[in-house]
Amino acid sequence: MNFRYKLMRFMSGRNGIDTVFYMLFGVAFVLFVVNLFARTIFVQLLIDAVMIYALFRVLSRNLEARRRENQKVLGALYRFKKYCNTKKQRANDKTHVYKKCPRCHSVLRLPRRKGKHTTVCPKCKNEFKVYVFKA
Domain range annotation of the chain:
1-92, 94-135
- What span, in angstroms and rounded, lies between the C-alpha atoms of 125 and 24? 47
Q: Side chain identity at 60, as an amino acid letter?
A: S
Sign, CA dihedral 87-93-97-102, equals negative
pTM given for the model: 0.67
Q: How far is CA 109 from the centre of its chain?
A: 25
Structure confidence at residue 55 as a pLDDT band (50, 70, 90): very high
| Residue 36 CA: distances (Å) to CA of 29, 32, 39, 42, 43 | 11, 6, 6, 13, 10
| pLDDT of amino acid 28 | 96
| pLDDT of amino acid 90 | 86
